Amino acid sequence: MATQDNFDENLSCCSIKENKTGESSDYAPACCSCRAVETKSPETAWEHFWAALSSIYVQLTFTAISGAALVASFFGLLESVLPFDPAWIAIVLSGTPLLWEAIVELARRHITAEVLVSTAILATIYTQDYFAGGEVAFIMMLGHLLENWTVRRARAGIEKLIQITPQTARKITENTESTVPASEVAVGDVLRVLPGEAIPVDGRILSGNTTIDQQLLTGEPLPVDKTVGEEVFAGTINRFGTFTMQATQVGGDSSLARMIRLVQEAEAKKAPMERIADRWAAILVPIAILTAIIVGLVTGELMRAVTILVVFCPCSLVLATPTAIVAAIGNAARYGILIRSGEVLEVLGKITTIAFDKTGTLTLGQPVLGTVRSLTDERSDDELLGLAASVEQHSEHPLSRCIVDAAREKQLTLSNEIEAEVLPGRGIQGLRKSDSRQILIGNEKLLAENGVTLTESAKSAAVENFHRGETVVWVAVDSAVCGFLSLADSVRSSAPETVRRLREERMDLLLLTGDNEQASKSVAEKVGLTSVDANLLPEDKQRLVAEQQKSGKRLAMIGDGINDAPALKTADIGIAMGKVGSDLAIEAADIVLIGDDISRVPFLVRLSKKTIRTILTNITLSMSINFAAVALAAAGIINPVVGALVHNAGSLLVIFNASLLLGVRWEKL
């Protein structure tokens, strides 16, 4: 079968040809249409025509017009204006697409709800009961419209990843430097990376010290200091310091390229929700047709057979799922929860395991000052903080900003007589002009380079901070350590309660993070999680999610960063933080928490379970009403019009039951 691209290509070629021959552009469309018919089979041309009609906007317009036409037919309006029953408008606009779908599915040897509906509509036309035919077509079109509206998804995440892929690299050859496309970098090439640039390929540092923001890949909230011999990854940002590196993974083998590929592969595994009506149609259609034939032959009354076909139409069955889903999605939206499709609610109700990312999910994703500890009697803790902030105000490093903000929040006075120099990968050093005292603020490497001995007593004072996974910044004055500051990612206040409520739902809970093990275990302990996997790259998270699924578990993943995208896509349900989360994470997710309120997750789980119960109730109601109406039709008690109204009443009952989901409140679940 020809594709739409081929179809459009033929149209374009036709237009070009006509322009070359000098014909006016007004003639080109007619020629294109002619050539489309000439170069394609009628079936292909019709398929493209019906594909255009399947647009949700076209369906919405047709449904509105059909509804108005049925109202006019029911009340006898427009009789003096139109030479035909207005119900014909509903039959044509809403019934014709159903008839085409039925023909296509029958050609593929598939029996769906459209087959039974089309048979009923044709039967009502034969008996000239146009209102009943239009009413059946309208209800089915409305069901399709609701269903299509709930399953539409945004698919732009891969493009966002591609946009952040570095395009160029600074290649060094024989003491010369040139800018080359990143795609031309080969394994073993030596590259230079300047401050503020994205690292073009995976590699290992040859010379220089720097600080890398690799939250893109690992989700770590704080930049990581790197030195000679350490690995750096494509797409991460060099914040401070110039360094040279040797390429180790290039092109499609780089970390960023692998992550793009993982998201694409995981996306391909997502299947649309199979319509419940279609699953039942394989049984209902033969039963309905056989019942109608038997009743018609036994009673000799064609109207009874037609009535059976009308009441057997699964309109309420078609509405059973989408109406409940629309109501649940609307309710969730009131609480800042965006649900991509109806399939999400169906799957979420069967989830057994929930995996959390750490940074930006269980934590706020921003460094905060933890401990300020002076180790001498010379100055207090606040004086130590003021001294450190006076030096750090000359740096734009995130940790420096955190220290300065904490000092200003305490309204401490910062000195302006200190000259400072930022030392990438180590810290910062300052010189106070008034007394020429040297101040060092940074890691152990900075202290060692300047001959400062870090005593065992000083290490012991900070041991608890190290165990909690906090970043410890040492402060030394004139070659003597005088104290330290610790910085950490703060835990969301709602996280412990969220974990507790999810345990009440008998969920298995995991923590999957790219951060270091100490910090991860500290956060897990604070929120009540016991299963922790740390130091994970995106492919590691995806692999662990896949392993859980292979063991028979249905898993939801909650994350916020680009590094979470493959795991979000692989998981049965992906939940992204909408406020702090990356664009890719949001696009990869099935559910987005607009306000980053993870306390809504337990509500979401319970709402999904209630939605499934509502759908099952709706199916039971619709089937019961249909079978009761069939019995009445077979007995000749109701005619096609009454039968249409009866099964329409069933549809209204299903809609009313589904609408009760709109009243479900977060506090009551």
Q: Write down the domain spans for the chain.
A: 35-151, 159-268
Phi-psi region of 372 (alpha: psi -120 to 50; beta: other; left: phi over 0): beta
More confident residue, 265 or 615: 615
Residue in the structure block whose two tokens are 């603020």:
441
Q: List pLDDT tens digits, range 508-565.
A: 999 998 877 888 888 898 899 989 988 888 888 889 999 999 998 999 999 876 678 7
Residue 236 is predicted with a pLDDT of: 82
Please list, in sequence order, all residues whose beta carbon lies within 8 angstroms of the beta carbon of residue 583, skipping any fewer than 6 positions away.
157, 160
CB-CB contact of 168 with 125 (8 Å): no
* pLDDT classification of 625: cutoffs 50, 70, 90: confident
Active site residue 357: yes
Longest dimension (CA), the chain: 114
| 3 state DSSP class of 86 | coil
The amino acid sitting at 468 is R
Q: In this structure, is the dihedral angle defined by the CA atoms of residues 547, 552, 553 and 554, taken in order, positive or negative?
A: positive
Length of the chain in terms of residues written: 669
* pLDDT classification of 143: cutoffs 50, 70, 90: low
CB-CB contact of 46 with 70 (8 Å): no
Instruction: 7-11: list long-range contacts, CB under 8 Å, 24+ apart.
Output: 7/36, 7/40, 7/44, 7/48, 10/35, 10/36, 10/39, 10/40, 11/35, 11/36
86-96: average pLDDT: 91
Residue 484 is predicted with a pLDDT of: 94
Pairing of strands 243-249, 202-207: antiparallel
Backbone angles phi, psi at 190, to 5 degrees: -100, 130
83-108: average pLDDT: 88
Residue 374 is predicted with a pLDDT of: 92
More confident residue, 120 or 5: 120
Residue 255 is predicted with a pLDDT of: 66
More confident residue, 496 or 108: 496
Q: In this structure, is the dihedral angle defined by the CA atoms of residues 516, 522, 527 and 529, taken in order, positive or negative?
A: positive
| 3 state DSSP class of 147 | helix
The amino acid sitting at 209 is N
Residue 42 is predicted with a pLDDT of: 41
Q: Of 49-63, 260-274, 341-355, which range is least confident?
A: 260-274
Instruction: List the catalytic residue out of 85, 189, 202, 357.
Output: 357
Q: What are the DSSP E strand ranges found in 360-470?
A: 363-374, 418-423, 427-432, 437-442
* pLDDT classification of 271: cutoffs 50, 70, 90: very low
Percent of the chain residues past pLDDT 70, beyond the cut: 78
Q: At what angle do helices 315-334 and 276-299 cross, to 10 degrees?
A: 150
More confident residue, 508 or 489: 508
Phi-psi region of 469 (alpha: psi -120 to 50; beta: other; left: phi over 0): left
Q: List pLDDT tens digits, range 379-421.
A: 899 999 999 999 999 887 778 888 999 999 899 988 888 888 8
Residue 4 is predicted with a pLDDT of: 34
- Domain 159-268, CATH number (from 3.30.70.141, 2.70.150.10, 1.20.1510.10, 3.40.50.1820): 2.70.150.10
pLDDT at 52 over 70: no
CB-CB contact of 345 with 323 (8 Å): no
pLDDT at 606 over 60: yes
Bridge partners for 249 per DSSP: 202
CB-CB contact of 489 with 468 (8 Å): no
* Cα R_g (the chain), whole angstroms: 33
Q: List pLDDT tens digits, range 223-265.
A: 788 888 888 888 788 887 889 999 988 877 776 676 666 455 5
* pLDDT classification of 92: cutoffs 50, 70, 90: very high
Residue 157 is predicted with a pLDDT of: 43
CA torsion angle 291 294 298 301 (round to 10): 70
Q: Which residues of 377-406 are buried (b: 16+ CB within 10 A; e: fewer)?
A: eebeeeebbbbbbbbbbebebbbbebbbeb
423-451: average pLDDT: 87
| 3 state DSSP class of 163 | helix
Convert 550-594 into a string of H (helix), E (strand) and C (coil).
HCCCCEEEEECCHHHHHHHHHCCEEEEECCCCCHHHHHHCCEEEC
Residue 397 is predicted with a pLDDT of: 78
Q: List pLDDT tens digits, range 178-228.
A: 889 888 889 899 999 998 888 888 899 999 988 888 765 555 656 788 888
Backbone angles phi, psi at 533, to 5 degrees: -125, 120
* pLDDT classification of 482: cutoffs 50, 70, 90: very high
